């Protein structure tokens, strides 16, 4: 897997006139064995999968994902065990790690990049690494064929947003609203404007995350987004004894639906 695998996933979605679905799972949650089963199950619905590496200090996470990380840490989940679980899967869509800058620095950037490649993952999302300080990691990842996913929020100013989107690879991660992760009922009209403007300026597909939990969200925002990231709703379902399919099957259906244009069919 590599940046090429991410590009291929979005190219396939585009050719098939559908939206990409990007679920988030916390490594080691609710147990390491169940995580491995959920990873395989999510692969039946996903175009790309994000795998969180639990960390003691939350990074834009709401209470649901914070609790999942805490539980995973109790099971002794580490970056090493996460990579081992990814390497052990038989097949599936490309995987991106979501982890902290400190986790990267503690292991060494070059060493982490090599281990990500060896595990068969395609890159990472590092929420606490400012874009202005990301050049070294981007260059290291590029040498290994990996991607560092860019993130931006509605509060990002115009000049910075433009710079981030010009350099985006794989996809640009659009945080839907100011705040932390967590399910929401609906999104304000300005969210659609934000997605449209980002899509027009981005050199890569744009995916919307933070609050995506039901088909209505996809229907509301799909006109300009290329994909949707679902995290808290999926973690909550797993916590309550539900299945990955309970959340991802209806979202997959919504992502696959053709946009209506106002004519009857």
> Which pLDDT value is given to residue 177?
67
What is the token pair recorded at 198? 């980002």
> Does residue 28 or residue 188 have the better pLDDT?
28
Q: What percent of the chain has pLDDT over 70?
A: 92
DSSP, res 259: P
Of 4, 47, 50, 90, catalytic: 50
Query: Mean pLDDT score of the chain, rounded to an integer?
Result: 91
Q: Is the pLDDT of residue 53 over 90?
A: yes
Of 47, 61, 71, 226, catalytic: 61
Using alpha carbons only, give the angle 137, 143, 148 rounded to the nearest 5 degrees: 40
Q: Is the pLDDT of residue 168 over 90?
A: yes
50 catalytic? Reply is: yes
> pTM to 2 decimals?
0.92
Task: Determine which of 8-12, 16-20, 58-62, 172-176 has the lowest per-residue pLDDT on average.
Answer: 58-62
- Helix, strand, coil percent content, the chain, rounded in steps of 5: 50, 15, 40
Q: Is the pLDDT of residue 228 over 50?
A: yes
> Which pLDDT value is given to residue 263?
36
How far is 257 from 265, CA to CA, in rounded Å?
A: 14
- Edge-to-edge strand order for the sheet containing 95-98? 147-148, 123-125, 95-98, 49-52, 20-26, 227-230, 206-209, 172-175, 150-152
The separation between CA 138 and the C-alpha centre of its own chain, rounded to angstroms, equals 17
The separation between CA 22 and the C-alpha centre of its own chain, rounded to angstroms, equals 6
CA distances from 190 to 152, 184, 186, 196, 213 (A): 15, 15, 12, 10, 19
Q: 3-class DSSP state for residue 230? A: strand
Pick from 92, 113, 101: which is nearest to 49 by CA? Answer: 92
Residue 50 near residue 92, CB atoms below 8 Å: no
> Which pLDDT value is given to residue 185?
61
The Cβ of residue 14 has, within 10 Å, a number of other Cβ atoms equal to 13
> Which pLDDT value is given to residue 77?
97
Q: Is the pLDDT of residue 190 over 80?
A: yes
> Which pLDDT value is given to residue 51?
98
CA distances from 204 to 24, 76, 162 (A): 20, 36, 12
Fold of 3-253: TIM Barrel (3.20.20)
190 catalytic? Reply is: no
> Which pLDDT value is given to residue 180?
44
Q: What is the mean pLDDT of residues 23-28?
A: 98
Q: Is the pLDDT of residue 182 over 50?
A: no
Give the model confidence (pLDDT) of 102-135 as tens digits.
999 999 999 999 999 999 999 999 999 999 999 9
Strand partners for 207: 173, 227
Domain spans, the chain: 3-253
> Which pLDDT value is given to residue 199?
94
Q: Is the pLDDT of residue 234 over 80?
A: yes
Question: Ramachandran region of residue 92, left (φ > 0), alpha (ψ -120 to 50) or beta?
Answer: left
Q: 3-class DSSP state for residue 23? A: strand
Q: Is the pLDDT of residue 260 over 50?
A: no
> Which pLDDT value is given to residue 208?
95
Q: Is the pLDDT of residue 80 over 70?
A: yes
Q: Is the pLDDT of residue 79 over 70?
A: yes
> What's the number of CA atoms in the CB half-sphere (13 Å) around residue 13?
28
């Amino acid at each position: 897997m590599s940046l090429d695998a991410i590009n291929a996933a979005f190219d396939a979605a585009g050719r098939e006139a559908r939206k990409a679905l990007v679920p988030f799972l916390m490594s080691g949650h609710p147990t390491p064995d169940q995580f491995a089963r959920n990873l395989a199950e999510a692969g039946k619905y996903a175009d790309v999968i994000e795998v969180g590496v639990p960390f003691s200090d939350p990074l834009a996470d709401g209470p649901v994902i914070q609790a999942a990380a805490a539980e995973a840490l109790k099971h002794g989940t580490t970056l090493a065990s996460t990579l081992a679980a990814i390497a052990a899967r038989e097949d599936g869509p490309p995987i991106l790690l979501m982890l902290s800058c400190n986790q990267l620095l503690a292991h060494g950037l070059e060493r982490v990049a090599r281990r990500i490649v060896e595990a068969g993952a395609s890159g990472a999302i590092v929420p606490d690494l400012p874009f202005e300080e990301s050049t070294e990691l981007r260059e290291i990842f590029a040498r290994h064929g990996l991607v560092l996913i860019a993130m931006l929020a509605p509060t990002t100013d115009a000049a910075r947003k433009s710079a981030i989107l010009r350099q985006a690879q794989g996809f640009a991660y659009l945080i839907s609203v100011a705040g932390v992760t967590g399910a929401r009922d609906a999104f304000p009209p300005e969210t659609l404007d934000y997605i449209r403007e980002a899509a027009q300026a981005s050199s890569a597909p744009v995916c919307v995350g933070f609050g995506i939990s039901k088909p209505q969200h996809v229907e509301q925002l799909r006109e300009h987004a290329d994909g949707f990231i679902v995290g808290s709703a999926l973690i909550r379902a797993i916590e309550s004894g539900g299945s990955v399919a309970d959340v991802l099957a209806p979202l997959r259906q919504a992502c696959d639906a053709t946009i209506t244009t106002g004519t009857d069919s």
